[in-house]
Amino acid sequence: MVVGAGIVGASIAHELVHRGWTVTIVEQYAPAHVRASSHDSSRVLRLSYGGGREIDVWYTRRAWRARQLWQEIGEDEGTELFHSVGVVWFARGTAEFEERSARSLEALDLPVERLPPEAAREFFPDVRCDDLEFVVHEPRSGVLRARPAVLALVRRALRKGARLRIATARPDERGRAVADGGPLPADRTVWAGGPWLGRWFPHLLEIEAVRQNVFYYGVEPHWRTPGLPVWVDGGAYGVGDLDDSGFKVGGALGEAPVIDPDLADRRPDPDAEQIARSVLANRFPALAGAPLVSRHVCQYELTTDQHFVLTPVPGGGGGWLAGGGGHAFKFGPALGEYVADLLEGREQPLPAFGLGPREKFESQESATPGQLARQHR
* SS3 (DSSP) at 273: helix
What is the rounded average pLDDT of the residues 315-331?
92
Whether pLDDT at 8 is above 50: yes
Contact by Cβ (8 Å): 132, 92: yes
Which of 66, 47, 84 minimizes the C-alpha distance to 8? 66
Task: Please tell me the distance from the alpha carbon of residue 64 to that of residue 58, in angstroms, as a whole number.
Answer: 10
Cis peptide before 314 (omega within 30 of 0): no
Smallest Cα–Cα separation from 251: which of 131, 368, 122? Answer: 368
User: Is pTM, for the whole model, over 0.75?
Assistant: yes
CB distance 331 to 66 below 8 Å: yes
Residues 6+ apart with CB under 8 A from 175: 189, 191, 312, 313, 314, 315, 317, 318, 319, 320
- Whether the CB-CB separation of 47 and 110 falls below 8 Å is answered with yes
Domains of the chain: 2-353 (3.30.9.10)
Determine the pLDDT at residue 257. 87
Backbone dihedral angles phi then psi of residue 277, each to the nearest 5 degrees: -65, -40
The band of 358, judged by pLDDT with boundaries at 50, 70 and 90, is confident
pLDDT of residue 363: 53
**H/E element, 12:** helix 7-18
Using the 8-state DSSP alphabet, how is residue 210 labeled?
E
Specify whether the CB–CB gap between 145 and 32 falls below 8 A. Answer: no
pLDDT band of residue 184 (cuts 50, 70, 90) is very high
Q: What percent of the chain has pLDDT over 70?
A: 96
Query: DSSP labels for 14-76?
Result: HHHHHTT---EEEESS-TT-TTSTT-SSEEEE------SSHHHHHHHHHHHHHHHHHHHHHHH
pLDDT, one tens digit per residue, over 284-314 is: 999 999 999 999 888 888 899 999 999 999 9
CA distance 104 to 56: 9
Residue 360 main-chain phi, psi, to 5 deg = -65, 135
SS3 104: helix
Number of Cα atoms under 13 Å in the Cβ half of residue 224: 8
Where residue 345 falls (left for φ over 0; alpha for ψ -120 to 50; beta otherwise) is left
- pLDDT tens per residue, range 30-77: 998 988 888 889 999 999 999 889 999 999 999 999 999 999 999 999
pLDDT digits (tens, 9 = 90+) for 204-238: 988 988 988 999 999 999 999 999 999 999 999 99
For the residues of 127-182, what is the DSSP string, one character each?
A: ---TT-SEEEEETT-EEEEHHHHHHHHHHHHHHTT-EEEE---EE-TTS-EEETTE
Q: Which residue from 369, 99, 323, 329 is spatially nearest to 191, judged by alpha carbons?
A: 323
CB of 259 closer than 8 Å to CB of 211: yes
Contacts of 181 (CB under 8 A, 6+ apart): none
Please count the other Cβ atoms lying within 10 Å of the Cβ belonging to residue 80.
Answer: 15
Q: What is the mean pLDDT of the chain?
A: 92
